[in-house]
Structure 1
Amino acid sequence: MAQSARERARPALPRVPALAVLAHHLVAYRRTWRAGLLSSFLLPVLTVLGFGVGVGAYIDQGVDGVPYLDWVVPGLVASTAVQTAVSESMWPVFGKFRWARTYVAQSAAPLRVGDILGGHLAFVTFRVITTIAAFLLVTGVFGALRPSWSAAALPVAALLGLAVAAPTFAYASVVDVDSWLAMLLRFAVLPMTLFAGVFFPVESLPTALRWLAYATPLWHGVELCRAATLGVAAQWPVAGHLLYLVAWAVAGWLLARAAFRGRLVV
């Protein structure tokens, strides 16, 4: 049977429908990227001045024989990746369910739950990559990075961002009020940033807190970024750190897909 004119006029989806969702987010970001451009470059400058000229001046011997600025920058790279991923995964996801209802509109199109989720997660990963690329560029200009394998910190940051973004998607899609998102920042993201080895070695913590730090994805990201930028061995085998982050990303994906399906599939 010949197709009707309406069917012929309907635009075809790409071979990978999630790319259409990613394109939607990129088009929206094209209108707002300038607002975050200054902060993307200002944050690493303030980091170099604050920790290099400020805190670093009071730590003569550095950490493990490494100047404090060089030691802390990879930790800040990892923590910035986490904060970027979480901020892009809380209110944006909650709002697309509760306020703008964007996900509902997308589900009315010929898009599966996995396409909607995968396209948005791809955009969050893009935001992490661009933010960390700017961070590495500025801190590298200031001499806060050692040559070695510093560029490897970028894919590590992307994996770390995905490892925290996916479970955050699941969380943001099931809470009823946005005040629960602030609770996540206060009781999960902030303590993780303070005690996961970003600013001081976790070995200085009591044993119980040390193992809590080991359980966080941020500590594994910090270890990998530090190994890349300083050229030192991580506490665990690199494969172990990577597999742990992959496990977080996969578990988060499964939880988020189940939560999205519960909200979108009737």
Structure 2
Amino acid sequence: MGGATAGTASQRGSAAPARPPRPGLMAGRAFSFWLVNYRRNWFGSAISSFLAPVLFLASMGFGLGALVDAGPGGPAMGVAYVAFVAPGVLAATAMQTGVGESTFPVMAAVKWQRQYHAMLATPLTVVDVLLGHMAFIAVRILATAAVFLAVATLLGAVLSPWALLALPAALLCGLAHAAPVFAFSATQERDTGFMLLFRLVVTPLFLFSGTFFPARDLPPVLEQLAYATPLWHGVDLCRQLSLGTPEAGPAALHVAYLLLWFLGGLLVARRTLTRRLQR
């Protein structure tokens, strides 16, 4: 009896320790935290995320649009200006949501409220933390884009059933900006860098990436710069789908380019976040 007990204890002692789960497999737990946290204070972002883009569409699409459509040049691309500008505002709204969710919330989780450090005190890894937060950002982008697209459809600014595919296109556009900005935010010690980001990057992108007028109307140098931005690719892709004029080749190029920005941003974000949290 005693020998059997000793043998069992010996087997237990020689058993291999449990392996930790692979990085990324527990990202759902980090995602659930951000989701629960947002459910508690969602109303604070309702105006900026949902109402502001709709008001912008109404003022630019119908207010300015009436003047553009009545002008000597006629409607842009042969359609009413509101139908031209709506997919551009959709992609730009996705970009702004992705950037907004990847700046101050990331700094807060790293430095001010330190949610990331609390997560790393559990079996979660840096990859889990990154993918979980990025999944929540994707939900925020998708929800904002869905509300905007629904309102634009009710206002008659959507001309084709293909516009349903503009929703995942806008999501990809938002993530293509969110991932690189996430990587940038993980390196910041103060929020002054975000002010420069919004003023020198986000605002020029919003104005000069084809959102309100075709990029070909820009001076040649600025036109080529616009074509290099991920927002222009997102705007053009959403516009093709919204107007019902998708072309397989250009659409595939847009998707590939946006995916390159997203996946490349994720790789850099993993490196910068790991370096920051393991100081």
Could you tell me the TM-score, scaled by structure 2's length? Answer: 0.87
Q: What SS does the aligned partner of 1:237 have?
A: helix
The alpha-carbon distance between structure 1 residues 41 and 95, as it changes in their structure 2 partners (threshold 3 A), is closer
Q: Percent identity?
A: 44
1:252-263 correspondence runs (5 A): 252-263=265-276
- Find the counterpart in structure 1 of residue 151 from structure 2: 138
Q: 2:271 corresponds to which letter in structure 1?
A: A
Aligned residues: 257
2:37 aligns with one of 4, 7, 28: 28
- Find the counterpart in structure 2 of residue 202 from structure 1: 215
Q: Which moved more, 1:67-76 or 1:102-111?
A: 102-111
1:90 aligns with 2:99: no
C-alpha separation between the residues in 2 aligned to 1:170 and 1:129? Answer: 21
C-alpha separation between the residues in 2 aligned to 1:110 and 1:200? Answer: 50
1:56 aligns with 2:65: yes
1:1-266 correspondence runs (5 A): 16-59=25-68, 60=70, 61-233=74-246, 237-265=250-278
Q: What SS does the aligned partner of 1:149 have?
A: helix
Larger radius of gyration: 2
C-alpha separation between the residues in 2 aligned to 1:54 and 1:235? Answer: 34
TM superposition shift of 1:32: 1.1
Gaps of 5+ in 2: 1-8, 13-20
Q: 1:24 corresponds to which letter in structure 2?
A: F
Determine if contact 2:61/2:86 at 8 Å carries over to the other structure.
no
Q: 2:45 corresponds to which letter in structure 1?
A: G
Could you tell me the TM-score, scaled by structure 1's length? Answer: 0.91
Q: What SS does the aligned partner of 1:185 have?
A: helix
TM superposition shift of 1:157: 1.0
C-alpha separation between the residues in 1 aligned to 2:53 and 2:45? Answer: 13
Deviations 1:104-140 (A, max 9, x none): 1111211111100000000001000000100011111
CA-based RMSD = 2.1
TM superposition shift of 1:47: 3.1
Determine if contact 1:227/1:233 at 8 Å carries over to the other structure.
yes
Q: What SS does the aligned partner of 1:175 have?
A: coil
Q: 1:43 corresponds to which letter in structure 2?
A: A
The alpha-carbon distance between structure 1 residues 71 and 91, as it changes in their structure 2 partners (threshold 3 A), is same
Determine if contact 2:61/2:85 at 8 Å carries over to the other structure.
no
Q: Which moved more, 1:230-239 or 1:139-148?
A: 230-239
- Find the counterpart in structure 2 of residue 9 from structure 1: none
C-alpha separation between the residues in 2 aligned to 1:52 and 1:113? Answer: 43
The alpha-carbon distance between structure 1 residues 224 and 37, as it changes in their structure 2 partners (threshold 3 A), is same
Deviations 1:211-252 (A, max 9, x none): 111111100000110011001246962111100000001110
